[in-house]
């Protein structure tokens, strides 16, 4: 069973996932704080390079399976044209109502 994006409880996470799924670079950037950071499988990555490669130029999509009670953790099927589909975990840290950091990796 999946959770509709508009049902995600945390507004900043909802904006992040909505922009990701729409392939909307401007809305995605707007969901992040200036200087936002991220990690993939425990290693810090360059956010701009990673999102371009893993999301925007490879048609990345998230189908959310579950969220934590605080709305800051997700388990989702993530798919893109490079890697296909994989079950992933996402954890978000917010700052002033936007995503200041996200961490993702295989679930």
Task: Tell me the CATH number at 102.
Answer: 3.10.450.50
The per-residue pLDDT for 1 is 81
Residue 61: domain span: 5-106
Q: Are strands 98-106 and 84-95 parallel, antiparallel or unpaired?
A: antiparallel
What are residue 85's DSSP bridge partners? 79
d(CA 13, CA 91): 10
- The count of structural domains within the chain is 1
* pLDDT value of position 15: 98
How many whole angstroms separate alpha carbon 99 and alpha carbon 92? 6
DSSP states of 18-78:
HHHHHT-HHHHHHTEEEEEEEEETTEEE-HHHHHIIIIITTT-EEEEEEE-TTS-EEEEEE
Q: Which two tokens stand for residue 82?
A: 């490079």
pLDDT string in tens for the chain (107-residue length):
899 999 999 999 999 999 999 999 999 999 999 999 999 999 999 999 999 999 999 999 999 999 999 999 999 999 999 999 999 999 999 999 999 999 999 99
How many beta carbons lie within 10 A of that of residue 95, not counting itself? 14
Give the pLDDT score at 89: 98
pTM comes to 0.96
């Amino acid at each position: 069973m999946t959770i509709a994006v508009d049902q995600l409880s945390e507004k900043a996470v909802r904006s992040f996932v909505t922009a990701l799924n729409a392939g909307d670079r401007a809305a995605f950037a707007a969901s992040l704080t200036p200087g936002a950071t991220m990690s993939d499988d425990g290693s810090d990555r360059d956010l701009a390079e990673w999102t371009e490669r893993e999301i925007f130029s490879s048609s990345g999509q998230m189908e959310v399976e579950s969220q934590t009670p605080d709305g800051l953790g997700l388990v989702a099927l993530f798919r893109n044209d490079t890697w296909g589909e994989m079950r992933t975990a996402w954890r978000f840290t917010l700052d002033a109502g936007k995503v200041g950091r996200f961490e993702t990796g295989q679930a």
